Chains A and B, each alone.
Chain A
């Protein structure tokens, strides 16, 4: 069964606008972490933001924020004020206690000038 679902294979956003990338996950473990990575065309996976299952507040890192809705098992990434350099693949990942990372299929974001 798919543990991480990213339903948007591709997204477009106008420069300076905000965009939300969807991620839903499946787990019965109460202890888990959720991660977002960015992969530009160069190939490197760049860590963006982390949200723990016990965290009461949504995580934020600069222009990135994570809209964590635990009951819905949703961990959407919000990028504010999009820039041309934000064009990349974005991967949602989950790590349960004692387990390895599981990655979603990714969403390709294209920022339009």
Chain B
């Protein structure tokens, strides 16, 4: 496996379900990110993790719960979602610590999980 992988690629869930999105990066990076991409909206940063520590939570509802057990894995636990949460969820990673000041560092993205909440 290379780069950033995400599973599942597609997910359909009811509003009462509990599911988890998984992201794994094979790049040796120290920072990982969750983004939400809704139709006709800019990319929204949800969470930032730096060496397994959450450094940013952009006012995301508590029905989204991130978990970062180590620097290679990132999860997004979902429960009691709403139909407006249907979107493409993208995971990304970058080399340096988030907020380290290294503006040159590129973010690399996974293929995303397309989520549909019924």
Contact = CB atoms under 8 A, between A and B. Distances in A.
A32 B42 contact: no
Contacts, number: 58
Tell me if B's interface is mostly helix, strand, loop or mixed.
loop
Contacts of A97: 101-103
Given A52-B103, A100-B48, A100-B98, A44 B43 contact: no
A98 B31 CA distance: 13
Interface in B69-103: 88, 90, 92, 98-103
Given A33-B104, A45-B90, A47-B106, A101 B45 contact: yes
Given A43-B111, A45-B90, A100 B56 contact: yes
Nearest to B110: A44
A91 interface: yes
B42 A44 contact: no
B108 interface: yes
B112 interface: yes
Interface in A65-112: 91, 95-101, 103-106
Nearest to B40: A105
Interface residues of A, number: 26
Contacts of A33: 103-105
A8 interface: no
Contact of B88 (A35, A37, A43): A43
A91 B102 CA distance: 21
Given A43-B88, A45-B90, A91-B43, A101 B110 contact: no
A99 to B, nearest CB: 8
A47 to B, nearest CB: 5
A24 B104 CA distance: 18
Interface of B: 33, 42-43, 45, 48, 56, 88, 90, 92, 98-112, 114
3 nearest CB pairs, A to B: A45-B109, A43-B112, A44-B111
